[in-house]
Amino acid sequence: MATPAAAPVAASVEEVEVAARRRERQRGWKTMPFIIAAETFEKAGSIGVAANLTVYLVKRFNMGQLTAANITNIFYGTLNFMPLLGAFISDAYLGRFKTLAYGSFFSLLGMLGLTLSASVPALKPPGCNQTTQLGGHCNSPSTLQLGVLYLSLGFLTIGGGAIRPCSLPFGVDQFDMTDEKSRKGLSSYYNWYYGTTTAALVFSLTILVYIQNDISWPIGFGIPTFFMMMGIMVLFMGTRLYVHVVPEGSIFTGIAQVLTVSFKKRRLKLPYPHDINQQDLLLFNPPTKGNRIFRLPLTSQFRFLNKGAIVRDGDINGDGSARNSWELCSIQQIEEVKCLIRIVPICISGIICFMAISQQFTYVILQTLTMDCHLGPHFKIPEACVISISFMALTLFIPIYDRLLVPMARRLTGVESGITLLQRQGAGLVISPISMVVAGLVERKRRNSALSNGGISPMSVFWLAPQLILMGIAEALNAIGQIEFYNKQFPEHMLTLAGSLFFVSLAAGIYLSTALANITKKVTSRDGHTSWLTEDISLSKLDYYFYFIAVTGVLNLFYFLICSHYYQYKAMSLHAEESIKIETKVEADAEIDIAKDAHNN
């Protein structure tokens, strides 16, 4: 008699627990102001310090232009590579909130160090005018001064590596996609997140850069430091309201397990090698854990990995779980690794695009140092502010693309998104080399003008606008296309890696640009020839270098077309797990979009 009554009691207890979790999730949207405000302050602070770094090293640390450019490239490259490590630490050990907190404190230390280097006379070399600097007679920074500078930049890279992969996902953690109000809050969160981040970017590249160049470097660095302190305070103000997701372990372990087990079982034969449906029934395929809606079906591509799911005697426990994860993997794990393998070749093509963006941005600042930066007779534009033309072009192009170009393309192609994810990236790869050609033509005119006027060209910096606008459009198509591509094509379990992979691609592009500049400088200076890249860019042949990058971009475009031709879009099974929530309309629409993309490819 007691047994029948136990079931309702257990069910009611479970319902209470589910209701409690849901109330916690529904409360999470109230944390949005704290998270967005903290992220906005952090972005204004970090970008405000880093945006003008090349000019700071040239004007206040008496470094050569190429040396300063290389240091900036290495800094940005490391800053964008560190999110991969930050994502690993967050997923495996600390969780997103603790990682964010530690990263914020490291960023604050880096900003304080740079502020001190600009304020304390003992931490910076004596001032030097531009004429003396071109002659190479300025005092170089001491070991102590360089030590403080590099330590500060190191703290900034650690902080950025912790904050970048966790800030957006931590906000997403606050919402429950099974609740309609939470879904609306999540949509609002995305809009405010990207909107405030763009506003912080424009503020840093205009007002803060102007303060640094024309008013005071200590004040210009002190304001971002204050913003960072405010960001930390706001982040901790919402501590009691946050939903904290427990670390679930690193996805890199799962990847290593799949590769290891597949290698161990490489001599085994797959059942039904020519019938993937029958093979699926005989391989290890336990129910998935967590809130994943769709399972990845078994595919024949990279089928040597399928051997990792072959069940041998003793591989499975009595409850149906794997006895040893390093001896048996599930189909879900294997297909997740396959998704990563498919995406990597596409990711490599984005690296070349980021290299072109990095090169142009780096040398644009050096070009502006020798050009007329006046807007009218009295106002002078800070050198680093010129880069904001590209970001403005990117910002303005997005609504034009979404509201005008996508509907036009939709009528022609019948695709809901106008063009596929890969086609959007390819369009950016087409525009990028064109931008470099335009940059070469403008640089040739600037160099001739500078040589005719004692090294300083009377040309307006707005001659650089066409190439920056084209590069902004290329970035809007390729870079944002990459983000969308990674988030749709990576399995749900790997979305943290998806965000990190974008920054790693950006870092690889910056590192590659630095290596390419050094190799070009060495190769072109052989046999007594003038190098394409010298400390004085007016004596360089920078236009040749831009043309060379354009050729590289064309070759990369052909490589991308080949990879796109053989790319297989992620497939999803049409059934949901029995033990998880009912599919929502938003998720059903997402499945339809992915299916359409696969069909059109």
Please give the residue that has the higher pLDDT: either 403 or 182. Answer: 403
Span 76-95, average pLDDT: 82
Query: Residue 208, class by beta-carbon neighbours within 10 Å (0-12 exposed, 13-18 middle, 19+ buried)?
Result: buried
pLDDT of the residue at 578: 35
Q: Is residue 174 over pLDDT 70?
A: yes
What percent of the chain lies above the pLDDT cut of 70?
Answer: 82
Q: Is residue 583 over pLDDT 70?
A: no
Interaxial angle between packed helices 53-60 and 331-368, expressed in degrees from 0 to 180 and rounded to the nearest 10: 40
Q: Is residue 587 over pLDDT 70?
A: no
Residue 7 makes CB contacts below 8 A (sequence gap 6+) with: none
**Rounded to an integer, what distance in angstroms lies between the CA atom of residue 57 and that of residue 570?**
46
**Helix, strand or coil for residue 441?**
helix
Convert the pLDDT of each residue in 267-289 to its tens digit. Answer: 999 988 888 888 888 898 887 66
- Take residue 177 and report the two structure tokens written for it: 């996609």
Convert the pLDDT of each residue in 102-128 to its tens digit. Answer: 999 998 999 899 899 888 888 888 777
Span 362-383, average pLDDT: 79
**Rounded to an integer, what distance in angstroms lies between the CA atom of residue 534 and that of residue 525?**
10
Convert the pLDDT of each residue in 520-540 to its tens digit. Answer: 888 888 877 778 887 777 888
- Take residue 362 and report the two structure tokens written for it: 């780096």
Q: By C-alpha distance, which of 32, 301, 424 is closest to 191? A: 32
Instruction: Find the radius of gyration of the CA atoms of the chain.
Output: 27
pLDDT of the residue at 518: 84
Average pLDDT, the chain: 78
Q: How many other C-beta atoms are found inside a 10 Å radius of the C-beta of residue 126?
A: 8
**Rounded to an integer, what distance in angstroms lies between the CA atom of residue 531 and that of residue 540?**
6
Convert the pLDDT of each residue in 224-251 to its tens digit. Answer: 888 888 888 888 888 888 878 777 667 7
Q: How many other C-beta atoms are found inside a 10 Å radius of the C-beta of residue 280?
A: 18
Which of the listed ranges 394-398, 447-451, 486-490 does the model predict with the highest average pLDDT?
A: 447-451
**Helix, strand or coil for residue 379?**
strand
What one-character DSSP code corresponds to residue 51? Answer: T
Q: Is residue 473 over pLDDT 80?
A: yes
What confidence category does residue 577 fall into, taking pLDDT thresholds of 50, 70 and 90?
Answer: very low
- Take residue 94 and report the two structure tokens written for it: 């600390």
Query: Residue 575, class by beta-carbon neighbours within 10 Å (0-12 exposed, 13-18 middle, 19+ buried)?
Result: exposed
**Rounded to an integer, what distance in angstroms lies between the CA atom of residue 338 and that of residue 331?**
10
**Rounded to an integer, what distance in angstroms lies between the CA atom of residue 538 and that of residue 521?**
15
What confidence category does residue 21 fall into, taking pLDDT thresholds of 50, 70 and 90?
Answer: low
Which DSSP string do the residues of 200-269 spell out, in sequence order? HHHHIIIIIHHIIIII-HHHHHHHHHHHHHHHHHHHHHTGGGPPPPPP---HHHHHHHHHHHHHHTTTSP
Span 315-340, average pLDDT: 87
Q: Which H/E stretch holds residue 380?
A: strand 379-380
What confidence category does residue 581 fall into, taking pLDDT thresholds of 50, 70 and 90?
Answer: very low
Place of tokens 């304390």: 120
Span 87-112, average pLDDT: 87
pLDDT of the residue at 265: 92
Q: Is residue 342 over pLDDT 80?
A: yes
Q: Is residue 595 over pLDDT 60?
A: no
